[in-house]
């Protein structure tokens, strides 16, 4: 079962997707052909050779009739044993391949955003399974949350710099997803100079301060941007409570509209939130350290209650 098909390397491994009769999960090759990006471990014929593929290796996925379905990244230790990389089984996963994916994503973001502050790569949605890349102007933070991307981080970083022109790239290898892939937690500088202070990020009319070196995940939840804006519209002429609020995504977006008054509890990144609030001199903003349950249970009618995680650091009491 080696080297079948024009352009496919002679040493390529082929994996067989079980049909609906053989698989307890009733695997259906049509789902993958129609764009589903994963194959679960119980949907695949796994012999000793398959199990010997190193985490992050690539192989050609075949259906029950031995027809190639595309190139996949393999991790025999993960419940998601295959992640679809390319519909072309002869594709080569190198710097040029990464550059093509990133260039397509960049063109889309440049149509959506006037300034270079956005989620550039959102995993499978941008053709890079398990990869998140957030851009903060001249700085990019990469989360390679799948083994295949972690193993190719150098090519990924080089392509990212070439396509976007960013001068600093940080690899943030933390989080539960990496543990599920058998990857260690690791944060390191791939290129350039590490920022020594939070980066100002204009978003939804406010300026957020993103701690890309020490904050949660990449430093900012760009994927919540439209939700922040929607919540701000709901909060017009109302008091807003933002509980366990990370960098204040919901409350600061609402505050930027200048149509709400605020009281809020703040989480571990509260110094960043306070920095942003004082930068804009928002007189109607306050941050307090208290038990969230006691604030939520008060009789005051709050327009918004956003729950995320963690507690205020010691020494930060109020604004």
Please enumerate in sequence order all residues whose Cβ is within 8 A of that of 96, keeping only pairs 6 or more positions apart, or say none.
Answer: 159
- Residues in a beta bridge with 141: 134, 170
Spatial contact of 122 and 143, defined as CB atoms under 8 Å apart: no
Closest CA to 102 of 119, 88, 115, 77: 119
pLDDT for the residue numbered 233:
87
Q: What domain range is 135 assigned to?
A: 95-191
Residues 131 and 72 in one domain: no
pLDDT for the residue numbered 171:
96
Q: What is the pLDDT of residues 42-59, one digit of tens each?
A: 888 788 888 888 999 999
Instruction: Evaluate whether residue 7 is within a structural domain.
Output: no
Instruction: Evaluate whether residue 45 is within a structural domain.
Output: yes
Instruction: Evaluate whether residue 172 is within a structural domain.
Output: yes
Please enumerate in sequence order all residues whose Cβ is within 8 A of that of 8, keeping only pairs 6 or more positions apart, or say none.
Answer: 60, 68, 89, 90
Closest CA to 208 of 245, 263, 259, 157: 245
Last residue of a domain, one of 146, 170, 191: 191
Q: How many domains does the chain have?
A: 3
Spatial contact of 270 and 278, defined as CB atoms under 8 Å apart: no
Q: What is the pLDDT of residues 194-225, one digit of tens each?
A: 999 999 999 988 888 899 998 778 888 898 99
Closest CA to 66 of 18, 26, 28, 11: 18
Residues 55 and 112 in one domain: no
Last residue of a domain, one of 86, 114, 136: 86
Residues 75 and 108 in one domain: no
Mean pLDDT taken over the chain:
78
Strand order in the sheet with 168-173: 117-122, 131-136, 139-144, 168-173, 186-191
Instruction: Evaluate whether residue 207 is within a structural domain.
Output: no
Q: What is the pLDDT of residues 124-167, one digit of tens each?
A: 999 999 999 999 999 999 999 999 999 999 999 999 999 999 99
Instruction: Evaluate whether residue 319 is within a structural domain.
Output: no
Q: What is the pLDDT of residues 75-87, one digit of tens each?
A: 999 999 999 999 9
pLDDT for the residue numbered 288:
65
């Amino acid at each position: 079962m080696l080297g079948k098909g024009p352009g496919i390397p002679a040493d390529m491994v082929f994996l067989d997707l079980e049909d609906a009769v053989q698989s307890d999960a009733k695997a259906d090759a049509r789902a993958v052909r129609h764009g589903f990006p994963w194959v679960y471990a119980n949907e695949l014929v796994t012999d000793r050779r398959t199990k010997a593929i190193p985490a992050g290796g690539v192989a050609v996925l075949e259906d029950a009739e031995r027809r190639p379905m595309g190139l996949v990244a393999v991790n025999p230790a993960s419940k998601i044993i295959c992640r679809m990389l390319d519909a072309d089984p002869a594709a080569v996963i190198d710097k040029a391949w990464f550059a093509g994916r990133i260039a397509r994503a960049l063109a889309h973001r440049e149509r959506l955003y006037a300034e270079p502050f956005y989620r550039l790569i959102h995993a499978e949605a941008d053709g890079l399974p398990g990869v998140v890349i957030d851009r903060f102007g001249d700085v990019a933070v990469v989360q390679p949350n799948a083994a295949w991307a972690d193993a190719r981080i150098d090519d990924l970083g080089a392509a990212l710099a070439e396509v976007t022109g960013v001068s600093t790239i940080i690899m943030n290898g933390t989080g539960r997803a990496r543990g599920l892939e058998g990857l260690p937690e690791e944060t390191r500088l791939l290129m350039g100079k590490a920022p020594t202070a939070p980066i100002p990020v204009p978003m939804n009319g406010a300026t957020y301060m993103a701690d890309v070196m020490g904050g949660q995940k990449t430093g900012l939840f760009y994927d919540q941007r439209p939700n922040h804006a929607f919540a701000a519209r709901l909060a017009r002429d109302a008091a807003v409570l933002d509980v366990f609020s990370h960098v204040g995504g919901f409350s600061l977006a609402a505050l930027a509209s200048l149509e709400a008054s605020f009281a809020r509890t703040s989480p571990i990144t509260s110094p960043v939130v306070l920095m942003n609030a004082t930068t804009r001199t928002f007189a109607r903003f306050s941050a307090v350290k208290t038990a969230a349950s006691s604030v939520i249970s008060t009789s005051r009618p709050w327009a918004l209650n956003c729950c995320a995680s963690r507690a205020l650091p010691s020494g930060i009491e109020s604004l």
